[in-house]
Chain A
Amino acid sequence: KNQVEQSPQSLIILEGKNCTLQCNYTVSPFSNLRWYKQDTGRGPVSLTIMTFSENTKSNGRYTATLDADTKQSSLHITASQLSDSASYICVVSYSGGGADGLTFGKGTHLIIQP
């Protein structure tokens, strides 16, 4: 069964600090992995999308890594800002999957404190 597990479930850090969010998946065959940021009460917004051959991808202060061998991904946030407070969702798609070919994690709820 295709699954995406995210950890931690929630995280509180001080403004300016770095943090790393984890995503483990069992989706097979793998197509791509995406990280979304979802502000409270809003729709998710894409941060990165990574295919099998990509190990690292950055988007400003956000850096995603992918290890397709161990089926793990991480999202590293550098120099956190108050606006980074949100839920971060890992989404994995499987090769050959159509409209229903996505498996969503439950997200990590990140709170940045001043």
Chain B
Amino acid sequence: SQTIHQWPATLVQPVGSPLSLECTVEGTSNPNLYWYRQAAGRGLQLLFYSVGIGQISSEVPQNLSASRPQDRQFILSSKKLLLSDSGFYLCAWSPGLAGGNEQFFGPGTRLTVL
């Protein structure tokens, strides 16, 4: 069966510090991968998605970047965190593009920027 992991589970970082969140998927090949941010009282916002190694699409201009160095690994990064980067970050995968396929979410990372 497929599983999706995220780490760390929680993170507290000062403003201006770098960020690296990791997501890995097991039990499937060539998944589509996604990074979402969930702010309090708001719906999930798609940040990035990837249909293959090295292929990244960005949905919103922001202080963050994503990379996919391996088929089942997706990384969310920042060089300098802002206060507004605080939130709950979710990684997800789907067997095909999300529009027509079910997405499976990871456990999430709670990021607090102070």
Our verdict on whether A and B bind, yes or no, reads yes
Interface pair A100/B46, CB less than 8 Å apart: yes
Complex interface bits, B50-73 against A, C-beta within 8 A gives 1, otherwise 0 = 010000010100000000000000
Query: CB of A104 within 8 A of chain B?
Result: yes
B interface residues, how many (CB within 8 angstroms): 27
Task: Select B42's contact among A4, A34, A106, beta carbons within 8 Å.
Answer: A106
Which of B14-22, B77-85, B102-110 binds A? B102-110
CA distance A94 to B108 in the complex (A): 26
- Chain A interface bracket (under 10, 10 to 19, 20 to 34, 35 or more): 20 to 34
Interface pair B108/A97, CB less than 8 Å apart: no
- Number of interchain pairs (Cβ within 8 Å): 69
Chain B, range 28-65, C-beta contacts under 8 Å to A: 32, 34, 41-46, 49, 51, 57, 59
Interface pair A94/B99, CB less than 8 Å apart: yes
* Residues of chain B whose beta carbon lies under 8 Å from any beta carbon of chain A: 32, 34, 41-46, 49, 51, 57, 59, 88, 90, 92, 97-100, 102-108, 110
Q: A41-B88, A42-B108, A104-B43 are known contacts; what are 9 more A-B pairs with Cβ within 8 Å?
A: A36-B105, A41-B110, A42-B107, A43-B92, A43-B106, A46-B103, A89-B43, A99-B32, A106-B42
For this complex, 8 residue pairs linking A to B, each with C-beta atoms less than 8 Å apart, are A32-B100, A36-B105, A43-B107, A44-B44, A98-B98, A101-B99, A104-B43, A106-B41
